Amino acid sequence: MSSVDNRQGRLYHDKIGIVDGVVDTPSSKSAAVTAARRGRRRGFDMRYVLLSIVAVLFLLPFYLILRNALMTDDQITSMQWSWFPSAPHWENFRDLFADKSTSMLTGLMNSAWIAVVTLILQMLFSSMAGYALARIPARGSNIVFGLILGTLMIPSAVTFVPTFAVMAYLGGVNTLWGIIAPGVFSAFSIFLFRQFYLRFPTEVEEAGRLDGLGYFGIYWRLLLPNSTNVFMALGVLTFIGSWNSFLWPLMIGQDPSAWTVQIVLSTFLTAQTVHLSQLFAAAAVAIIPLVFVFLLMQKYIVEGATFSGGKE
Amino acid sequence: MAPALAGLVVFTIVPIAWGFLLSLSHAQNTIHVGHFIGIRNYVDLLTDSEFLRSLATILAFAAFIVPTTFAISLGLALAVNKLAKGRAFFRTVFFIPSAVSYVVASLVWRVSLFNGTPFGFANHLLSMFHIHAISWIGTTSPPWYWLVLITARLWLQTGFYMIIFLAGLQAIPPSLYEAAAIDGVSGGWKLLRYITLPQLRATSISVLLLNLIAAFQAFDEFYNILGGTGSSVGNVGLARPPLVYLYSLAISNQDFGRGAAGGFIMTALIIAFTLAQKKLFGLGEAHNE
């Protein structure tokens, strides 16, 4: 646990360029600070009490999803509250996928496809554009960069109606590519890749050039393998964002065949008669892949979140 | 580079230009530009009581959600930052809701946590104190639905901003605290007031900005928590933010001209608030850097 912590701490410090040795480890603290800390000892225990209460509140919704997903409808709506199902009703999950009217399976497959394609294409396009902006001297590249910075500041509120118009014009309504396309081009990712490649040591590129590599060769053979961290950080955020997005798929995917898992859930939620246990089983199915991705990739997500915070 | 640029142009710059022309056109049931009517769409919207009400709704929402998210995420970051034990555990627990979608949160909040019947979780807790079940979403006096909407967003986004604050806290040079200790400054509040908060200035500004921009574009939880069942409109009328209103204008009524005009009004509002915030917090910036 603590080794993960230290690594995390070092990540932050690397980013702002603080030398590792200065990081506050207990040993490097002066006696005066330790003494000052000790003065707060009494407040110390309170912190754990407070944090534990908040932690219970934060975990409560997850518990409710699992509880309801494993109960029968009658148990959920019973006046007698029970904290746990007497016996877990796993068949809710089987029924969920057997029920043709909810199209859960289609939604899951659409969402997975959309998230994976968005992830791959966005990373590829953004890193190429970011590299070109950082390294290839070309006339007008300043203007291009200005345009990208400009689009960064435009909220999606202004573009969602006209982007729909463009998409309708291009024939993308009710298609998966119509849902995917706008998400592939992210000014934010291009910007971050450019910042990353600006700091990339030029010696590596020069070595590549001596070996006869062109711009693309350098990008493909030298830069890509050395930017795993940025790719991971942005990639995970892109994947989660795509899987969870709602407004755009709602506008484009009007036909059930193009519904994502979020649209399936939303439709299910607002249906006339709701099968409660299946609704929560569906919610569980929709978040389980993400919670796994999240726990496995947390280190990178933290980095990505920190990047987003540094954006100004 | 070329494909990325072409894509950006097609999906960002073209829509903005097209949107601007649409906003000046009478574009009912059509996505084509051409029937120009000047600024009538803007005038119509700004005199449309429903739209004005939606602007008031989002301002009230932002006035609640931005400070509370800020305070709670900063508080959690401060509490978690120097924990000797369990730091990773608490950080993960607070951060993990960021992986959950607004739709799933809305579902839990609406159907389980704040269900208006006695089997809803909040009502179950109240019943232990012999308080009658509250219809959380269906009543306007008092407007409990605000509690439902605000807590849902708090749960989803607080952890994300906490992570940003944690990064900011880690970046504060420990030597500052050491110097303070040597100067005899002790007590958490003074350190917080004179070292921690000023050092977090840049982080705070970006958290406020990100949070404000996100709040102005709220859609998902309003649509899913207040939305109707079956063919009824449900409780949407209780709190309809601009994006929900523009969505119904553009998609349900097929009035793309007004929908686009509304988008530009929203952008103007967001830019105005961003600048105001910069001005407000930018004062004395040179002093610090």
Scanning B112-131 for CB atoms below 8 A from A yields 112-113, 117-119, 121, 124
The per-residue pLDDT for range A281-291, each reduced to its tens digit, is: 999 999 998 88
Smallest Cβ–Cβ distance between B267 and the set A61, A158, A168 belongs to A158
Q: Same structural domain for residues B264 and B138?
A: yes
pLDDT at residue B4, rounded to an integer: 65
Task: Tell which wins on pLDDT, A147 or A75.
Answer: A75
The per-residue pLDDT for range A194-215, each reduced to its tens digit, is: 888 888 888 888 888 888 888 8
Percent share of chain A, pLDDT over 70: 83
Scanning B47-86 for CB atoms below 8 A from A yields 76, 79-80, 83, 86
- Which residues does chain A have within 8 Å of residue B108's beta carbon, measured at their own beta carbons? 61, 64-65, 283
Taking the CB of residue B157, how many other CB atoms lie within 10 A of it?
21
Choose among B222, B272, B269: nearest CA to B42: B269
Q: Same structural domain for residues B103 and B237?
A: yes
Q: List the single residue in B with minimal CA-CA distance to A35.
A: B181
- Which residues does chain B have within 8 Å of residue A243's beta carbon, measured at their own beta carbons? 101
Q: How many domains does chain B have?
A: 2
Query: How far is the C-alpha of A241 from the C-alpha of A115, rounded, in Å?
Result: 8
Contact yes or no for B168 and A309 at CB 8 A: yes
Taking the CB of residue A199, how many other CB atoms lie within 10 A of it?
7
Q: Same structural domain for residues B94 and B154?
A: yes
Alpha helices in chain B (DSSP H): 2-8, 14-23, 40-46, 49-81, 87-95, 102-107, 121-128, 145-170, 174-182, 188-191, 197-199, 201-216, 220-226, 242-247, 256-282, 285-288
So what's the architecture of A100-310 in CATH?
Orthogonal Bundle (1.10)
Task: Tell which wins on pLDDT, B3 or A269.
Answer: A269
State the complex-level ipTM: 0.89
Contact yes or no for B104 and A294 at CB 8 A: no
Q: What is the CATH number of the domain that holds B158?
A: 1.10.3720.10
Choose among B98, B73, B209, B50: nearest CA to A302: B98
Compute CA distances B140 → A24, B121, B137, B158, B237, whole Å.
Answer: 52, 20, 8, 27, 11
Contact yes or no for B18 and A162 at CB 8 A: yes
Q: Do the domain assignments include residue B219?
A: yes
The per-residue pLDDT for range A93-133, each reduced to its tens digit, is: 888 888 777 788 899 999 999 999 999 999 988 888 888 88
Q: Same structural domain for residues B206 and B126?
A: yes
- Which residues does chain A have within 8 Å of residue B278's beta carbon, measured at their own beta carbons? none
Q: Same structural domain for residues B33 and B151?
A: no
Q: Do the domain assignments include residue B43?
A: no
Instruction: State the smallest CA–CA distance between residue B268 and chain A in angstroms.
Output: 9
Q: Same structural domain for residues B124 and B248?
A: yes
Instruction: State the smallest CA–CA distance between residue A223 and chain B in angstroms.
Output: 15
Q: Same structural domain for residues B145 and B284?
A: yes
Q: Same structural domain for residues B126 and B266?
A: yes
Q: List the single residue in A with minimal CA-CA distance to B128.
A: A81
Least confident of A4-13, A236-245, B122-131: A4-13
Smallest Cβ–Cβ distance between A64 and the set B31, B108, B227 belongs to B108
Instruction: State the smallest CA–CA distance between residue B141 and chain A in angstroms.
Output: 24
Q: Do the domain assignments include residue B140?
A: yes
Average confidence score pLDDT of chain A:
79
Contact yes or no for A165 and B124 at CB 8 A: no
First-to-final CA distance of chain B: 36
Q: What does the pLDDT profile of chain B (289 residues) look like in tens digits?
A: 566 667 777 777 788 888 888 888 887 777 777 778 878 889 988 998 999 999 999 999 999 999 999 999 999 999 998 888 888 899 999 999 999 999 999 999 999 999 888 888 998 889 889 888 888 887 777 889 999 999 999 999 999 999 999 989 988 888 888 888 888 777 778 888 888 888 888 888 888 888 988 899 899 999 999 886 655 667 777 888 999 999 888 888 888 889 889 989 988 888 888 888 777 776 544 444 3
Q: Same structural domain for residues B94 and B170?
A: yes
Q: Do the domain assignments include residue B44?
A: no
Q: Same structural domain for residues B115 and B24?
A: no
Q: List the single residue in A with minimal CA-CA distance to B216.
A: A157
Q: Same structural domain for residues B282 and B174?
A: yes
Question: Above 90 in pLDDT, residue A242?
Answer: yes
Q: Same structural domain for residues B23 and B80?
A: no
Question: Above 80 in pLDDT, residue A15?
Answer: no
Secondary structure of chain A in HEC code, one letter for each residue: CHHHHHHHHHHHHHHHCCCHHHCCCHHHCCHHHHHHHHCCHHHHHHHHHHHHHHHHHHHHHHHHHHHHHCCCHHHHCCCCCCCCCCCCCCHHHHHHHHCHHHCHHHHHHHHHHHHHHHHHHHHHHHHHHHHHHHHCCCCCHHHHHHHHHHHHCCCHHHHHHHHHHHHHHHCCCCCHHHHHHHHHCCHHHHHHHHHHHHCCCHHHHHHHHHCCCCHHHHHHHHHHHHCHHHHHHHHHHHHHHHHHCCHHHHHHCCCHHHCCHHHHHHHHHCCCCCCHHHHHHHHHHHHHHHHHHHHHCHHHHHHHHHHHHHCC
pLDDT at residue A42, rounded to an integer: 52
Q: List the single residue in B with minimal CA-CA distance to A23.
A: B174
Q: What are phi and psi of B185, to 5 degrees?
A: -80, 120
Domain limits at B1?
1-38
